[in-house]
Structure formats: C-alpha cells, structure tokens
Amino acid sequence: MVTGLSSIGVSTRVRLYAAVAVRGFRRYSTYRAATVGGVFTNTVFGVIIAYTFVALWEQRPNLGGYTQQEALTFVWVAQALIMPVGLLGGGILEEFAERVRSGAVATDLHRPTPLLWWRLAEDFGRAAYHFLTRGLAPVLIGALLFDLAWPRSVSTYAWFLIAVALAVGVGFAIRYLMGLLAFWVIDIRGYLALLTITQLFFSGMVLPLVIFPGWLRGLAEVLPFRCLVQVPADVLLHEGTGTEVLPLLALQLLWVAVLLFVGHLLTAAAVRKVVIQGG
C-alpha cells in the first residue's frame, strides 16, 4: 500500500509507533477482571504442572540437564510467557482475521503506516501489559510455593528480558502470517487451532524440549516455535545449565528477521489480492 511514512522524519516515526504501543498496552489494561482471572488460571496450571515435574525429576534428577529447581523454574517461566508471546493465539490474530472478513481492514490499509509495523507496535504494547501482569504475578506466587532456581547475576535478567522481547517478536510474526491467511481463506479458525497445538507442543510449553526423544527434538530445533518458550527459559537458566546466551539470542533474531520479511512480502501480495466486501 502507500508508504507515505518515508517522507516523515525518524523521530516522528518512533513517536508514532510508541504511541501505538502505549494504546495497545492501555487497551488490554482496561479488562482488570479478565487479568485477575487469567493470573489465577495461569497459577493453577503452574501448580499442577509443577507437581508433575517434581514427580518426574525426583525419579530422574538432572533429566535433560535440568536440576529439579531448574525444571520448576522452567514451569513458571513458561506460564509467564503464554500470554506475552501469544501461545494460545488470541488478541491480534482473531481480530485481524475478523477485520479482513468484515472488510474493516480497508481502514487499516488506508493508514499511511504499513500494516505490519502498526500491528507489531500494538502487539508489543499488549505483550508488555501481559508480561507485567499475567507473566509476573504467577511467577511470584510460584516462587512462594516452590523452590526455584534464581540466577544470581543481574546481567542474566537483562539478557532474559531481551530474549522475551525477541520471543514476543517471533510470536507476533507467526500469528501475523497466520492472520494474513484470512486474505485467502474465509474461515481460518481450523488453521488457528492447528497452529495453537503446534506452538504449544514445539515451543516447550507442554514439556521442555530437552526431554523430547531424539528425533522429535531434532524436529523442534529446526522450527521457529522453540524461540517462544524454550529459548527464553534457557537464557534465564543458562548459569545452571551452561548454555551460551548469544547464539540463542542470535537464533531468535534470525527468526524474527526471516518471519517479518516473509510477512512484509505476503502483506504486499495480500493487499493486491484483497476485495473489500460491501464496497
């Protein structure tokens, strides 16, 4: 579509996207009851999964290279990431598909900002809200209930935040691509269900990928989904497990770049293809 932004200065552009991100944050912070309910639900699931991990690691200490403490930390980090990285779909995805179906996407395409970047900025705002609420709160409760492995050095937390930001980027790019499918397929709900299952399984959410059997782990490693949970968790746990941080972040960066680039190309294709209903 129109790339009118090229005539605008960089600082204006930064301010624009920051404003979009802030609106994304505020939009989700309106639903306080849903947030409280979500925190409760994430905590309940965290507790259940934590006990299954205790049972597993008690019999097999050091399974997958994790101590029991590290495995339990993994559980709570995974719970914290579900919403920010959009593991269950949701947010932008259904909304985007609905806007394509209803024709409201015409408004989006009229904006002098590319659809991809606008949506990315908005999703970062949403993710920040979900990380601060539905991410942190269950982790704090989990830390009270279980003995977790907290990294000692401050830099690890900084690396972890970068890894989370990149995970949000990968998560967004995957869902954006899926959302673009709505330009070609009327009802994408079936595809969404399949995507959600694949994401949950291959991100490490269901079980850490380090305990997958060989061939399945090999498959998980060539897919982008591990950037969503397993990689950020490994960045946080790296002091204990000896994983190097930089290659992990580079991997995430590579996937963000590739997926966003494909997203950029397909957006152009989708815009050429789109027929606005009722126009």
Partner 1 sequence: MADSIRAFAVIAGAWVRASMTYRASFWSLAVGQALFTLVDFVAITIMFSHIDRLGGFDVAQVALLYGFSGFALGVADLLVGNVELLGRRVRDGSFDAMLVRPVAPLVQVAADQFALRRLGRIVSAVGVLGWALVATNIDWSITKVAVAVATLVSGSVIFCSVFVLGSAFQILAGDASEMMNAFTYGGNTLTQYPLSIYPSEVVKGVTFILPLAFVNWYPALYILGVEDPFDMPVAFHFASPVAATLLAAVAAGCWRAGVRRYRSTGS
Residues making contact with partner 1 (CB under 8 A): 31, 33-34, 36-38, 40-41, 44-45, 48-49, 51-52, 54-56, 59-60, 63, 186-187, 189-191, 193-194, 196-197, 200-201, 206-207, 211-213, 216
Tell me the DSSP string of 37-76: HHHHHHHHHHHHHHHHHHHHHHHSTTGGG--HHHHHHHHH
What are the b/e assignments for 98-112, b being 16+ CB within 10 Å? ebbeeeebeeeeeee
Q: Which residue lies nearer to partner 1 by CB, 40 or 118?
A: 40
Q: Which residue lies nearer to partner 1 by CB, 33 or 222?
A: 33
Q: Which residue lies nearer to partner 1 by CB, 136 or 193?
A: 193
Q: Residue 49, Cα to own-chain centre: how many angstroms? A: 20
Q: Which residue lies nearer to partner 1 by CB, 60 or 111?
A: 60
- Residue appearing with tokens 């306080």: 32
Helices 115-130 & 92-102, crossing angle to 10 degrees?
140
- Shortest distance (Å) from residue 171 CB to partner 1: 18
- Shortest distance (Å) from residue 162 CB to partner 1: 29
- Shortest distance (Å) from residue 102 CB to partner 1: 16
Q: Residue 191, Cα to own-chain centre: how many angstroms? A: 18
- Shortest distance (Å) from residue 155 CB to partner 1: 33
Give the angle 197-274-115 at the CA atoms, nearest 5°: 70
- Shortest distance (Å) from residue 168 CB to partner 1: 21
Q: Which residue lies nearer to partner 1 by CB, 8 or 44?
A: 44
